[in-house]
Amino acid sequence: MSLLDVQNFTARIYTDENLRREFSAAPDDIGKQNNLTETEIGELVGILPDEINRFAESLFWKRLREVEKLLPLTKRITGADFEIYFREFANGFTPESIKKHLEDAIRFAEFLRERETSWKSDAARFEAAKLEFYALGKSLVFKRFDYNVKEISRRIHESPVDFERRKTLAVWMRIGKREFVF
């Protein structure tokens, strides 16, 4: 296996909790399934599991904190569930682009759509759409929501919070250097 392949597998071990568990339980089988040589398997097994787990946890927390910064409304809305959802998401997704935190945030908002079927999902999708427009530099982003996302962001501090379903459209458009938001 090439050095790049070993590095990619090691990165997956650090970011995928299930793969890490499987490799710890059956290093030879998992190593061979991933085209590692016996020497490479031995070297990876030689890394202390505690060290791997500690490093993997630090990577998780870094990813989580960066996504929290990019999705502040979603973080506020989901509260403690944000971390639970993100851990589940992070175990199944590894960003591949050079804008890893941005990719994490946008894909996490999509992931939440499957977990949260209410106005919370719309708020996450709204924040992801803004990121697509501003951070990815798209010229046009058009999204349809089941709830009025402006009302959600304005009233989120009220307790208790409940919102009526009301179809809403949001459009971000860039023409030349001018930006328009509807």
Q: Is the pLDDT of residue 50 over 80?
A: no
Q: Is the pLDDT of residue 172 over 80?
A: yes
pLDDT digit string, tens, across residues 116-156: 878 999 999 999 999 999 999 899 999 999 999 888 888 88
**pLDDT tier at 16, thresholds 50, 70, 90:** confident
CB contact burial 98-130 (16+ within 10 A = b; e otherwise): eeebbbbbbebbebbeeebeebbbbbbbbbbbb
Task: Write down the pLDDT at residue 145.
Answer: 94
Structure tokens at 54: 């500690």
Mean of pLDDT values over 27-40: 91
Q: Is the pLDDT of residue 58 over 70?
A: yes
Q: Is the pLDDT of residue 17 over 70?
A: yes
pLDDT digit string, tens, across residues 147-170: 998 888 888 877 667 788 999 999
What's the rounded Cα separation, in Å, for the pair 114 and 45? 36
Pairing state of beta strands 165-175 and 178-181? Answer: antiparallel
Task: Write down the pLDDT at residue 105.
Answer: 97
Cβ-contact 182, 164 below 8 angstroms: no
